[in-house]
Amino acid sequence: MSEPHLCPKCEQRTIYFDGICYWCRQKEKLEFYENLSEDEIKKRQKNILAHIDELDKFDEIYSDLTYIFYVHDICDEQIIEELTKNGEYYPPEIYKKASEGLRDELIKRLSSEENIVKLNHILSALAWQGDEVVRELFFRLYGAPKPWKTKLYADTDGYSQTAGWSFDSSGKRRSLVFDKCFVCEPSQNADASVKFKAANDEKCKFCSGKMLELTIKKESLKRFGLELKNDAVLKFCPTCVGFVQYFCQNDGNNVQTDTVGEGESEDYVRDAVAVLDGQKFELANEVCMHYAAMIDGEILLGGYPQWQQDAEYLHCPKCGKTMKYLAQIPFGALIDGEGTIYMQICDECEVVGANFQCT
């Protein structure tokens, strides 16, 4: 343990040890994998295969497996075949690359696997493979559950939601994510796409603390195919957001806010308003869809959310449909606290929702 000092790389965060801060280490690791050449990727994929029976013993090799897939969308099918052969179905995301033959093998194993943990992993892998055969299977299981369903971690739609999709009452597929992802960087531009400001016209109905408004300009959301009449605005209390779901609708003049749940009686995160008021961000580079799995200290729009706990998609209070994930706000990193705010949207009703998770 050394004396408190600023991280020598970002010169922003206080650390109490030698080296660089957690967030800078994340960025360094990501940059390393981003810069791998095609030959280096092939070499590392071969090394993964050579150690396929002992991935849990080598953190670096497991990182090669996940990061090369996350960053470059590459996973040799032989790797997936060997993991399946060994009864290992993790990480489930790589099964996006699984063939129809592997899909059929996973479905076959559903009826014979007795280990509940393995069953959960098989269902997660199938959810990420996610083709029409899987959708049909999940909908059928949802309507006529197997005897072992009561022991499972979640219903079949819970697994599909983790993989970013779901189905309605008729079985029709619906994507819960946008197929682009952008990282947001701090900006001094008064017309920045993303901005925080203190909502001085309203106090929290639970703790009487100050409220914050987070605005994402409608012009920026056109990149995701959203054609909104007004900016997407989330008005929330920084203290009570950890306990309450927020639903907001901006009519161009006012932001109507509804809540589900009970907030706190005291505004003990009151300093967050002063910290965030006036902070602005701009959409910068388009990044890979799984960026949130590698970097948890930046505001991200689109892509796959990295849930701290279970996938928790909200339902629009107006139409009842499952909302789509829109943005991940690293609340803890922004205020030197903890937790993540997940911003969601119903594009039909133009309602914004938000929930909060922390480890």
Model confidence band, residue 13 (pLDDT cutoffs 50, 70, 90): confident
Which of 145, 174, 203 marks a domain boundary? 174
Q: Is residue 251 part of a domain?
A: yes
Number of neighbours of residue 60 by Cβ within 10 angstroms: 9
Residues 123 and 211 in one domain: no
Give the mean model confidence (pLDDT) for residues 77-99: 95
DSSP 8-state symbol, 51 = T
Most confident of 87-91, 228-232, 267-271: 228-232
DSSP 8-state symbol, 210 = E
Q: Is residue 20 part of a domain?
A: no
The pair of three-digit structure tokens given for residue 152, joined into one six-digit string:
């499972």
Structural domain boundaries, residue 73: 31-174
Residues 303 and 221 in one domain: yes
Residues 151 and 191 in one domain: no
Model confidence band, residue 14 (pLDDT cutoffs 50, 70, 90): confident
Report how far Cα 158 is from the mean position of its chain's Cα atoms. Answer: 15
Residue 148 pLDDT: 73
Give 265-321 as a DSSP string. SS-TTTHHHHHHTT-EEEEEEEE-TTGGGT--SSEEEES----SSS----B-TTT-P
Residues 133 and 209 in one domain: no
Percent of the chain with pLDDT over 70: 100
- Helices 100-110 and 132-143, interaxial angle, to 10°? 20
In the chain, the N- to C-terminal Cα span, in Å, equals 24
Give the mean model confidence (pLDDT) for residues 290-298: 93
| Residues 279 and 309: beta-carbon distance below 8 Å | no
Residues 132 and 275 in one domain: no
Give the mean model confidence (pLDDT) for residues 281-310: 95
The pair of three-digit structure tokens given for residue 271, joined into one six-digit string:
């300093």
Residue 214 pLDDT: 98
Residues 121 and 248 in one domain: no
Residue 41 pLDDT: 98
pLDDT tens-digit readout, 303-323: 999 999 999 999 999 999 999
Residue 1 pLDDT: 60
pLDDT tens-digit readout, 162-191: 999 999 999 999 999 999 999 999 999 999
Give the mean model confidence (pLDDT) for residues 267-284: 95
Residues 194 and 161 in one domain: no
Does position 20 have pLDDT exceeding 70, yes or no?
A: yes
Q: Is residue 225 part of a domain?
A: yes
Burial of 164 (0-12, 13-18, 19+ CB in 10 A): buried
Percent of the chain with pLDDT over 90: 85
Residue 88 pLDDT: 92
Residues 167 and 186 in one domain: no
Name 115's Cβ contacts closer than 8 Å, sequence gap at least 6: none
Q: Is residue 21 part of a domain?
A: no
DSSP 8-state symbol, 229 = S
The pair of three-digit structure tokens given for residue 113, joined into one six-digit string:
């696997």
- Of 160, 162, 118, nearest to 312 by C-alpha is 162
Q: Is residue 4 part of a domain?
A: no
Characterize 243-279 residue by residue with b for buried, 16 or more Cβ atoms within 10 angstroms of its Cβ, and e for exposed: ebbbbbbbeeeebebebeeebbeebebeebbebbbeb
Residues 323 and 341 in one domain: yes
| Residues 231 and 352: beta-carbon distance below 8 Å | no
Which of 154, 174, 194 marks a domain boundary? 174
Give the mean model confidence (pLDDT) for residues 268-291: 95
Model confidence band, residue 147 (pLDDT cutoffs 50, 70, 90): confident
Residue 218 pLDDT: 98
- Tell which wins on pLDDT, 140 or 14: 140
d(CA 309, CA 231): 29
The pair of three-digit structure tokens given for residue 219, joined into one six-digit string:
């012009």
The pair of three-digit structure tokens given for residue 32, joined into one six-digit string:
């390393």
Q: Is residue 240 part of a domain?
A: yes
Q: How does the average pLDDT of the chain come out, rounded?
A: 94
State how many domains the chain has.
Answer: 2
Give the mean model confidence (pLDDT) for residues 156-161: 94
Which of 133, 149, 174 marks a domain boundary? 174
Q: Is residue 24 part of a domain?
A: no
pLDDT tens-digit readout, 26-78: 999 999 999 999 999 999 999 999 999 988 888 999 999 999 999 999 999 99
d(CA 21, CA 106): 41
Q: Is residue 8 part of a domain?
A: no
Residue 23 pLDDT: 87
Does position 145 have pLDDT exceeding 80, yes or no?
A: no
- Of 331, 356, 330, 358, nearest to 344 by C-alpha is 356
Report how far Cα 278 is from the mean position of its chain's Cα atoms. Answer: 25
